[in-house]
Amino acid sequence: MGPTPVKSLGATDQHSQVQLYIEGPFDKTITFISESERREDITIPSLYPEVSELGYLGGHTLGELLRVEKEATEEALTRRGRMNMTIELPAVDARTIGELLFFLQVATVYAGALYNVDPLDQPGVELGKQLTFKAFGRV
């Protein structure tokens, strides 16, 4: 009982995962994680302006492209009635990622209480731990 996290990475997983999220079973929530301000960005060169499939990107930044793709995916999910939310981080650094992981750990404990499941007990992995301890001489 309860959620199983599945990772999708931006446009990389757009055609595989988003297809499932939009047209698959209505049993998922989608959480986007974004960075509010990029410290560095790369301008997409204005190469091949005669190729309509590429030329329109010239002069825009990679960060802008990723942001717009995220917003378009978010809008597509919303229009199809798929639950989604965004967690916006001020930066992607060790402190902020640590804060995010702590937040998600606390949310897991709360969800366990709501599902009437002890999230700090792991009977499904206990035998593996015991066998590992035994192999290394720990009783």
- Are residues 118 and 63 part of one domain? no
pLDDT in the model for residue 1: 58
The residue among 52, 71, 90 that closes a domain is 90
> Is residue 100 located within the same domain as residue 131?
yes
Are residues 73 and 19 part of one domain?
yes
Q: State the residue range of the domain holding 130.
A: 93-139
Q: What is the pLDDT along the chain (139 residues), one digit of tens a residue?
A: 567 778 888 777 777 888 888 999 998 889 999 998 888 899 999 999 899 898 999 999 999 998 999 999 999 999 999 999 999 999 999 999 999 999 999 998 999 889 898 888 888 888 999 999 999 999 7
Closest CA to 40 of 20, 69, 62: 62
Q: Do 116 and 75 fall within a single domain?
A: no
Shared domain for 102 and 82, answered yes or no, is no
Name the domain count of the chain. 2
Answer whether 8's CB lies under 8 Å from 18's CB. Answer: yes
Provide the whole-model pTM: 0.76
DSSP 45: P
**Domain identity same for 57 and 77:** yes
Residue 51 has which token pair?
């190729």
Look up the CATH number of the domain holding residue 52. 3.40.50.10490
**99, 83: one domain:** no
